Structure 1
Amino acid sequence: MSTSLQNISVKYTDLLSEIETGQVKIPQFQRKFVWNIKDSAKLLDSIIEGYPIGTFIYWRTNERLRSVRNLGNIVLPEPKFGEFVNYVLDGQQRLTSLYAALKGVKIGEEDGKTSDYSEIYVNLLAIDEQDIVTTEIDSLQPEHLIKITDLMKGGFSIFKNYPEEFHEKLDHYKNVLSNYTFSVINLKNAQIDVATEVFTRLNVGGKSLSLFEIMVAKTYHIFENKSELESPEKIFDLSVKYEELSTELSASHYDTIPSATILQVISILLEKDCTRKTILKLDKIAFINIWDEAVSCIKSSIDFFRSYGIVVGRILPYNALLVPFSYFYYKNKHNPTGDMKKRLEDFFWRVSLGFRYSSGVEGKLVQDISKIDKIIANELPRYEWKVLVNKEFVEANGWFSTGKSFNKAILCLYAKQKPKSFDNNLDVIIDNSWLKIATSKNYHHFFPKSWLSKNRKDLDYYYVNHIVNITIVDGFLNKNIIKAKSPANYMKSFNSTNDELEETMKTHFIDINKDGIWDNDYDTFYKNRLSRITKALNKLIIPQEISTVELEVYEDTEELFDEA
């Protein structure tokens, strides 16, 4: 059935009736009612003056969306199950204003104030360019004013209270409002993506609605039939579900996972595809019924990352990594062990170091599901992208910025070491709120930038602000003790308080006796730490043919802290 546009005219009485019976709804993706009582008075004044007030555009459908079920905060009934609903794509502010003013309701505002829309009046003395409909009444006598609500009730019992000279005018104003024809365009038989595109073009100047906003509207469901749902809930509201999930994940420091990733997970589990088009076509009930299992798979994936040492979501190289890992736990209900675990880790590092999801994510996720299937079948997948892990590669990509997937991969490597605090050899607490920006006090340039700028003016700043010079520390040490001191200076103070300093620094890929620390030798430090980081990364990747993967291969028996 093709999409069609239907132009109709609706009178005041019919418009109000549709609203009051629940046939007109405001979809969730509409903005809130923001007009004030003066805006509403101006609209009614335009009608009485005979000016056009624009066209209302509805999406007419029997789908049930998450909606702002009331206009403003006016409580209205739900339509009967299976009936068509007119979702307002354009005209919410005007429609709500009309209804509020003509019914004289009160609307609460965000600041706690309440506007009484019964306090909109017709000025019976208005002439020339004066507003006929107004809220400014201080300078007028009661017999020169009539409430809009009283005007619409009309009749002798009300009009008799006004001087006879105004009766003809009162009848005229009432008839104009009662008989005003509102122009309505119905968008019929349209899919939700078409309806939201229409909304986008009309309301937000070309700024597209997010896929999540659309899916919140689409998947909203009131269960009339208990057999539809595999859980006892009566309503499914994706926005509420996502908020609940984010709250749960905050305990594990993975509440940074975006809503789009959650949609990709569900789509992959249902269709093995996660393009926007596929997500929009997902069956509502299937989406709802798989939600709990999808959440369970996401949590299992996060548990895997955390147990692996990646204890916060902010340093995950790609949020999209949750998609293949969730698929793994959907197909394989047990934690991986042995070769399966090594192959899953290998997949993680190949994606993270190979810039895999830096572009074309949706298509690559579909391809990578087949690799996860191979891992589940206890086979080693073949990879079509190269992972170049040598010192030149790490050096070339190491300019420190927390938004870069490569840097995040190295931070994951650091976190995997469970870095210890310089002063007491206790675990450094890694928290999302500390790792938002590159200037965070938890990202410590081991050779402070200010010290290098004074003492190594010949050194290119690229090597100063390099991931090789970054350590993860407690903010207190960085801000209050280390500051801009040289490594030889501040490490001497830690050496006197931490009997295990040598072991502490190894958790940061640093050897205090071999890396020129006591001589403030940045070149030796940089060269040795770069070598250790490269070696550590190589140990995480399963070598394949050189035509597919280029590696600097190190024997498993080689120690990271051998002399570079």
Structure 2
Amino acid sequence: MSDLKTCFKRVDYDLSSLLHFIDVGDIGLPDIQRPFVWKNAKVRDLFDSMYRGFPVGYLLFWENVAQNGSKQIGTDNKQREVPARLIVDGQQRLTSLYAVFRGKTVLDANYVERQIEIAFRPRDGKFDVADAAIRRDPEWIPNISDLWCSGASSWRMVNNFIAKLEEKTALSEEDEERIAHNLDRLFDLQKYPFTALEIAQSVDEEQVADIFVRINSEGVTLNQADFILTLLSVFWDEGRAQLERFCRDARVPSKGWAASPYNHFLEPDPDQLLRVAVALAFNRGRLKSVYQILRGKDPETNEYDAERRTQQFERLKVAQEQVLDITHWHQFFKALIGAGFRSGELVSSNNALLFAYAFYLIGRVRFDISEHSLQKAIGRWFFFSTLTGRYTSSPETVMDGDLARIRSLQTGDAFVSWLDSEMASVLTNDFWQITLPTEFDSSSARNPQLFAFFAAQSRLGAPALFSDRSVADMLDPTVKAKKKALERHHLFPKAWLEAQGVVDQRTRNQMANYALVEWPDNIDISNKAPDVYVPEIRSRFDENDWQRMLYLHALPHGWENMAYDQFLDKRREAMAQIVREGFEKLS
């Protein structure tokens, strides 16, 4: 006999019942798939399909294991303190319907409130997105939310619409009957039937995610961060709001001298900051294990304990306060700038950045390391982790291992020593002399090794090639112009290489063929051969400045006269040496 059991049940609703259960808090409507991302045109299509009687898909609910004493989602008072069901799939559809039927605003992907305005033309039953022309046209109801939010009866709404339309145009009896019929049909959308599959509360989050992926026709991925954000919505809505507010403010420059999380490195999402808070609070890199902690699950009995859950949330609250501290946030970015990474343009891995921030907070909050020492240590760690791609493959597993290894450390000196030992174990002579030159054999536009080379140049005070202005100053993200101050220049121009028979694009776009130059020089050089344009430029510099510039740009002596393949091999080795010098200067 099979032990397999059906883990869900089928429940039928009409739309008015669903809206009622959301109103009273029986169904939780958290942003489980992040802010509302549907365009108004998609909401229009949803209403059109329902109006025509077409099916619009199943809903997927999950029975909640929450207990009394938890807060409800949002700020409205709910009759039920904790929702009995959480929405796993169908959140965008239900958010659309709830916002339109209740006249509520939604948050877009940038956390800006907006109204969903769907228009309806009763004469022919057409839906559209409201615009200025529709709002002026008496044939249209510019915002169908008014039908359900005005408090007027359907009979009164129909008569009022027909009366106003007759002021502008003559209506036959057939016209009036058709308009009344179509409006009645629109009102009757409240009776539209939905079928929900309700997953049992005993099913764990990994199984729910698997169910979601298997039945979701749009291929949307539901990850562990989504579940934890759902828990925040249910049990600590203020914490979720804090995360979203911080993320919104990080996208917009502040006015005047007001403190703000706005920066030139990262426009964070709530789940990214939550990951940092989880690392700080629980020494965990895998969000899956933390989900169970925050549900109050006892690993021995597999039972849920409200008191345990409350204690874990208190730890998360303390950690999140540190993560969202603007002083911590900007001091961390100063560590990256000190390591030569002037902005997000040189950051190839957000995971490396976020995990470095977690280590910064651990050093500052848990070990009370002096800011001067911490800045240097975290700058080195970020340089190392982005250069080596430490968090590129299985980032959660790697970070979880890192956090496990520092869990027993007692002092700041021990923490910094651990960081240094990890870096030393990887950055051996073989890495600098063999591995890294090989990594430079790439044409990737966002290669972390190339970004590390630019960061090293910035740290070593290198001038831009053929310029007396520093790379660091030219990479300043606060300077905005129509053209970037620095451009990637092909030392051996692409068109010239092609004329020499180098037809493979990957070969022409090798990282070792790139250098940062000011855009006017890039235009002047154009497609000239290196042995033509280099002597023209050489006369602008004295010998010392010229040699220093060649060295810091990893250009071997007489490079302009070398065969292209020979040049690439020599420069890769020299680039690796510059990266090494830049990194070692951080010690």
TM-score bracket, shorter-length normalisation: 0.5 to 0.7
- SS of the residue corresponding to residue 268 of structure 1 reads helix
State which of 257, 267, 279 in structure 2 corresponds to 1:268. Answer: 279
Instruction: Tell me if structure 2 keeps the 8 A contact 1:515–1:524.
Output: no
CA distance in 2: counterparts of 1:182 and 1:115, whole angstroms: 24
| Structure 1 position 448, deviation (Å) | 2.2
Q: Does the aligned pair in 1 maintain the 2:277–2:323 contact within 8 Å?
A: yes
Deviation at residue 303 of structure 1 after TM alignment: 1.1
Q: CA deviation at 1:116?
A: 2.8
Query: Residue by residue, what CA displacement relative to the aligned partner does 1:17-54 show, whole Å, maximum 9, x if unpaired?
Result: 435545445432276476667864764675xxxx9987
1:242 matched to 2:276? The reply is no
The answer to whether the aligner puts 1:470 opposite 2:514 as a matched pair is yes
Distance change in 2, residues 1:251/1:87 (3 Å) = closer
Give 1:38-49 correspondences, 5 Å limit: 40=47, 43=50, 46=53
User: Which blocks of at least 5 consecutive residues in structure 2 are unaligned?
Assistant: 105-114, 119-128, 135-141, 149-153, 156-170, 254-259, 295-311
Q: Give the whole-Å Cα distance in 2 for the aligned partners of 1:285 and 1:395.
A: 48
Amino acid at match of 1:474: E
**Higher helix proportion, which one?**
2
1:18 to 2:29 alignment: no
Contact 1:35 1:97 in 2 (8 A): no
- Partner residue in 2 for 1:487: 530
Q: Which letter maps to 2:363?
A: K
Counterpart of 1:293 in structure 2 is: 322
Q: Distance in 1 between the 2:173 and 2:197 partners?
A: 41
8 Å contact from structure 2 (residues 283, 400) kept in 1: yes
Indicate whether 1:444 and 2:489 are aligned.
yes
1:147-546, aligned counterparts within 5 Å? 185-187=197-199, 189=201, 198-220=211-233, 236-247=241-252, 252-255=263-266, 261-281=272-292, 282=294, 283-296=312-325, 297-322=328-353, 323-324=355-356, 326-332=358-364, 333-334=368-369, 347-348=381-382, 350-369=384-403, 370=405, 376-377=413-414, 379=417, 380-381=420-421, 385=426, 387=428, 388-398=430-440, 399-428=442-471, 429-430=474-475, 442-455=487-500, 457=501, 464-478=508-522, 480-498=523-541, 501-502=545-546, 505-506=549-550, 508-510=552-554, 515-516=557-558, 519=561, 526=568, 529-539=571-581
Which amino acid is the alignment partner of residue 305 of structure 1?
L
- Secondary structure (helix, strand or coil) at the match of 1:502 reads helix
SS in 1 for 2:489: strand
- CA shift in 2, pair 1:440/1:395, >3 Å: farther
Give secondary structure in 2 for the equivalent of 1:442. Answer: strand
CA distance in 2, matches of 1:344, 1:90: 40
Deviation at 1:254, TM superposition (A): 0.5
After TM superposition, give the deviation of residue 516 of structure 1 in Å. Answer: 0.9
Letter paired with 2:362: Y
Q: Does the CA-based 8 Å contact 2:82-2:234 persist in structure 1?
A: no
How far does the alpha carbon of each residue in 1:527-552 deviate from its partner, in whole angstroms, 9 at most, with x for none?
6544443334444678xxxxxxxxxx
1:255 Cα deviation after fit: 2.0
- 1:118-157 to structure 2, matched below 5 A, reads 118=147, 140-142=174-176, 146=180
Aligned pair partner of 2:30 in 16, 27, 31: 27
* Contact 2:356-2:378 within 8 A present in 1 as well: no
Q: CA deviation at 1:272?
A: 1.3
1:66–1:198 Cα change, 3 Å: farther
Partner secondary structure for residue 431 of structure 2: coil
Q: CA deviation at 1:290?
A: 2.1
Contact 1:19 / 1:25 at 8 angstroms: preserved in 2?
yes
The amino acid of 1:84's aligned partner reads: P
Partner residue, 2:166? none
Q: Which has the larger radius of gyration?
A: 1
How many aligned positions are there? 476
Q: How far apart, CA to CA, are the structure 2 residues paired with 1:12 and 1:528?
A: 70
Q: What's 1:163 paired with?
A: none
Give the Cα separation in 2 of the matches to 1:391 and 1:460.
27
Aligned residue identity for 2:231: K
Give the Å deviation of 1:330: 2.7
Q: TM-score, normalised by structure 1?
A: 0.65
Give 1:261 shift: 4.6
Task: Using the TM superposition, give the Cα deviation of residue 361 of structure 1 relative to its aligned residue in structure 2, in angstroms.
Answer: 1.8
SS in 2 for 1:140: helix
The DSSP-based 3-state class of the residue aligned with 1:265 is: helix
**Once the 2 structures are TM-superposed, how far is the Cα of residue 271 of structure 1 from its aligned partner?**
1.5
CA distance in 1, matches of 2:267, 2:92: 34
Per-residue deviation at 1:401?
1.3
Contact 1:442–1:475 under 8 Å retained in 2: yes
Distance in 2 between residues matched to 1:150 and 1:463, nearest whole Å: 67
- Answer with 301-310 or 401-410: which moved more: 401-410
Supply the distance in 2 between the matched residues of 1:497 and 1:517 (Cα, whole angstroms): 18
Q: Residues 488 and 3 (structure 1 numbering): CA distance in 2 closer, same or farther, change over 3 Å?
A: same
Q: Tell me if structure 1 keeps the 8 A contact 2:496–2:527.
A: yes
Specify the code of the residue in structure 2 equivalent to 1:468: A
CA contact (8 A) 1:7 1:184 kept: yes
Indicate the SS of the match to 2:421. coil
Shift of residue 359 of structure 1?
1.5
Cα distance in 2, alignment partners of residues 152 and 86 from structure 1: 28
User: What residue identity is the alignment partner of 1:82?
Assistant: E
